[in-house]
Chains A and B, each alone.
Chain A
């Protein structure tokens, strides 16, 4: 696509956002992002349907699956313009960005026909049931059990998932469970699709350090996944689960960066207004944040270029570590710019945003693979250093 067509496309997205993120949706501007993920849920579900009506849900999916088949540069443009317009956090993200691509790659035709349209139409919301009390960084240590009902072929699931983001606002959950008795580690797992609204499932919210509750414990007691809701083969769940995580990285990072950029601009503006920027220590930290963000942008572009440069592939292993630490530092910088006025709750939305940022960015270095796990991956896969030994406890 030519530069010209691309900027026309950008303009189309920007115009659409301007026209539609207004009126009753205007209150959604900048809301519902990490740390604020449970804000205004009903209106945000309607917003998902508004997006769907405009053809802006799942634009990266192939045309045969109801997407727009956007090229990488168009996807980047869409994400950036969505974020630039202050588009709210996407309740449909897990379905659109994670489960959808996984089903497109591994699902049966019947599964695609059944599950993809409701995601695209903003009618079905999904959450991710991976982590458990004893399976965090060591995700393969999953204990939730799935056993097959010999009569129906359905799977009955018992166990506990934890830290399940937005489960309380979701309709469905995908679950990784152990289907082979006596198996251990990545072997003997199954990837199941389960409706949350059923007798054997209970969802308990967990209160976070920032006060909100975006994540939950999900308890399963002989909860049912019907026989046709297995993705891939029973026993191959790990492969599917890992492929899904692979979809998590990539394009959306540039949209995420546009959000970061808006946060940084907000902090810089506040620092000028309240005089904090007169301290060279503060203004240098702001400059450093700006540098880090530029570096991140160019790193993402090197990653997406996906050329033959092995150096870029190697260094892209560090991307999660890079952005999460940058963002965590930004969360602290925001509070340092506010000074004591950031310590007290106010009704100023800008202050509130920075207070949320401060708390939520603590989680950036934990979810999606902690920093320590990232460093292990970089050292082992990137630098060829020896693997961590495994112990026997637990």
Chain B
């Protein structure tokens, strides 16, 4: 396994960083917050012009054919600025589920549309804060002639309002089916007022909506456990955004404390302040290292990939939480104002901390199948 970044990877990361510094500044993020947490112009550039949605989609399906590692590099950059676009839900959550579960006649078309930037997608997760977010699926689907009729609800769907396509798992007579439904067909959407305005969430209710036969995209009925493998990508992508956000938050803090003077000296010269920033860097470096290793393990199909991704989730969400908490503390009074950005990171940190399981649940899952360390 090689964890050095190739020239191409470095270039991609630096270009993404440069692009977002310009296009996802604090002002634009705040403007997007004021209009529902989505920046359609920026999303247009990212999805259509830059082609980021195709990052991990095979070339045969119109993507760039790169792997989990490149995906993490991009999501770190969007995370760094809390970029209000549905990239994570599209590339890490939806595309891998389509690749894993969609039938041959549906898959290439959908992936191609995602890769080309035509389609922002999301997934209805019945239990987003559970280790298995697909337990207790409420949606049911039954055949009505040649069409399907779907009913049920889902309390929280990420980036629903900006999605073009929603993937909905529904119970059939025996197992599950996966439905891909244009968002425009859905009327029961209720935006939630969640903590994090840069990552909008909405509830979704379907009251016997009928869709064409081809809206069902799976190969054949399946068990909820079939989601486990593609969901590794979603977990990894989430951790990537958290690591990026933690770095962005530390940068914000360093910039502020470098300017602020008390007792006739820069507050950045106080050792208590220095040490806390240094500790943050250590935590972030630790999380980023595991993130990269886990991404490579996932691509290489290593056995411990699952535990590593779970672990990266733990370290990433803790690093982000700590970075946000320290940012507010080290900003002092202004850290408690709406005007300064630390609270945006605090919001992201808290909302994501419990996605796909709390830290304790994640640790317990690793402990249950603890891989040998000296293997």
Q: Which residues of A contact B (CB under 8 A)?
A: 84, 258, 260-262, 264-265, 268, 277, 280, 283-284, 286-288, 290-299, 301-302, 305-309, 311-312, 314-318, 321-322, 372, 374-376, 378-380, 382-386, 388-389
Contacts and interface: CB of A to CB of B under 8 A. Distances in A.
B364 A280 contact: yes
A378 B5 contact: no
Contact of A307 (B5, B258, B285): B5
Given A297-B293, A311-B288, A84 B374 contact: yes
21 contacts: A260-B373, A265-B372, A277-B367, A287-B364, A295-B287, A295-B290, A299-B285, A299-B289, A306-B4, A307-B4, A308-B5, A308-B7, A308-B10, A314-B281, A317-B281, A322-B282, A322-B285, A378-B281, A379-B278, A383-B277, A388-B271
Interface stretch (B33-41, B102-110, B306-314, B335-343): B306-314
A222 to B, nearest CB: 41
A301 B1 contact: yes
Nearest to A308: B10
A54 B372 CA distance: 30
A386 B290 contact: no
B143 interface: no
The majority secondary structure among interface residues of chain A is: helix
Interface in B271-296: 271, 273-275, 277-279, 281-282, 284-290, 292-294
A375 B315 contact: no
Contacts of A318: 278, 281-282, 285-286
A292 B284 CA distance: 12
Contacts of A379: 274-275, 277-278
Contact of B311 (A260, A261, A295, A376): A295
B185 interface: no
B366 interface: yes
B278 A302 contact: no
A386 B257 CA distance: 11
Contacts of B281: 314-315, 317-318, 378, 382-383
B366 A301 contact: no
The majority secondary structure among interface residues of chain B is: helix
B374 A299 contact: no
Top 6 closest pairs, chain A to chain B, by CB: A315-B285, A305-B4, A298-B293, A307-B4, A291-B311, A318-B282
B286 A292 contact: yes
Contacts of A265: 372-374
Interface string B330-364: 00000000000000000000000000000010011
B314 A288 contact: yes
Interface of B: 1-7, 10, 254, 258, 265-266, 268-269, 271, 273-275, 277-279, 281-282, 284-290, 292-294, 304, 307-308, 311, 314-315, 360, 363-364, 366-367, 370-374
B5 A309 contact: yes
A283 B364 CA distance: 7
Nearest to B266: A386
Contacts of A84: 374
Contacts of B363: 283-284, 287-288, 291
B289 A375 contact: no
Nearest to B374: A261
A317 B278 CA distance: 10
Contacts, number: 161
Given A284-B363, A379-B277, A301 B293 contact: yes
A293 B286 CA distance: 10
A84 B274 CA distance: 38
B3 A378 contact: no
A305 B3 contact: yes
B260 to A, nearest CB: 12
Nearest to A288: B363
A295 B278 contact: no
Q: Of residues A277, A299, A389, which shows the largest number of chain B Cβ atoms within 10 Å of its Cβ?
A: A299
A291 B293 contact: no
B370 A385 contact: no
Nearest to A315: B285
A283 B269 CA distance: 40
A85 to B, nearest CB: 11
Given A290-B366, A376-B275, 15 more contacts: A262-B374, A280-B360, A288-B314, A290-B307, A290-B370, A290-B371, A294-B294, A307-B4, A318-B278, A318-B282, A318-B285, A375-B279, A376-B274, A383-B277, A385-B274
A89 B262 CA distance: 50
Contact of A321 (B4, B282, B294, B366): B282
Nearest to A300: B289
B364 A315 contact: no
B290 A294 contact: yes
Q: Of residues B6, B254, B273, B279, which shows the largest number of chain A Cβ atoms within 10 Å of its Cβ?
A: B279
A274 to B, nearest CB: 16
Contacts of B371: 290
Contacts of B292: 298, 302
B274 A291 contact: no
A385 B374 contact: no
